[in-house]
Amino acid sequence: MTRSLITLRSPDWLVALERRSKQAFPDVEERMDFVIGLSRKNIAVGAGGPFGAAVFNSDDGTLLSCGVNLVLDGRCSMLHAEIAAIIRAQIKTGTHDLSASGLPPFELVTSTEPCVMCFGAVTWSGIKRLVCGARREDAEYIGFDEGEKPLTWKEALENRGIEVLRDVLRNEAASVLKEYRKRGGRIYNPQRS
């Protein structure tokens, strides 16, 4: 007998989008455009910050899993979009290692480059490529804190065999962040009162 450690709920609309998993997104801009759509939708529903991410099969462009920032709805500071997408991907493949033999190469596409925690999570996940839209300065510009990520984070991932592609549709991704601020969206950094 076991007890639930945590049950995280995935919003209906996210599950519905994931059902498009047979659809292929042939090029990286299409994948990023889809992920930016997740970040925009997350502003509308207010589950957390304006961030989206998804895991794709790098070979054929099919979608494996989606994630959005669920920090507020999930009452969990670790539920960044990248974490949610990786959790779903690992559940779907049944392994903690997305680079396990027998699996195709997977890539994580994220509307904003990862914070220090998600940088670490990428390191352990087994993904082979990281594709980023907005930069950390775009997130920090609207008040989000990205943490003490090493300045050489891109090189660190590449040294581990994880390709990093940045600035894919950066302007479009950053415009969603600005929209969040304009609407008065909550910046949920710890109070440390």
Residues 81 and 43 sit within 8 Å (Cβ to Cβ): no
Place of tokens 């003490």: 148
Residues 47 and 84 sit within 8 Å (Cβ to Cβ): no
Q: Is 42 in the site for a copy of itself (CB under 8 A)?
A: no
Angle at 175 between CA 180 and CA 154, to 5 degrees: 105
Q: Is 45 in the site for a copy of itself (CB under 8 A)?
A: no
Q: Point out which span in 20-28, 37-45, 114-122, 171-179 binds a copy of itself (CB under 8 A).
A: 114-122
Q: How far is the CB of 153 from a copy of itself (least distance, A)?
A: 7
- The bridge status of strand 163-165 relative to strand 63-68 is unpaired
Residues 18 and 54 sit within 8 Å (Cβ to Cβ): no
Q: Is 90 in the site for a copy of itself (CB under 8 A)?
A: yes
Applying CB under 8 A, which of residues 10, 21, 62, 175 lies at the interface with a copy of itself? 10
How many CB atoms neighbour CB 107 within 10 A? 23
DSSP, collapsed to helix, strand or coil, labels residue 27 as: coil
Q: Is 164 in the site for a copy of itself (CB under 8 A)?
A: no
Q: Point out which span in 33-41, 81-89, 133-141, 163-171 binds a copy of itself (CB under 8 A).
A: 81-89
DSSP, collapsed to helix, strand or coil, labels residue 118 as: helix
As a residue count, the chain comes to: 193
Q: Is 119 in the site for a copy of itself (CB under 8 A)?
A: yes
Residues 70 and 79 sit within 8 Å (Cβ to Cβ): yes
Joined tokens for residue 190: 């710890």
Q: Point out which span in 32-40, 68-76, 132-140, 163-171 binds a copy of itself (CB under 8 A).
A: 68-76
Q: Point out which span in 37-45, 71-79, 135-143, 165-173 binds a copy of itself (CB under 8 A).
A: 71-79
> Residue 155 or 167: which CB sits closer to a copy of itself?
155
**Rule CB under 8 A: which residues touch a copy of itself?**
1-12, 15, 70-72, 74-79, 83-84, 86-88, 90-91, 94-101, 115-121, 123-126, 128, 145, 147-150, 152-153, 156, 160-161, 188-193
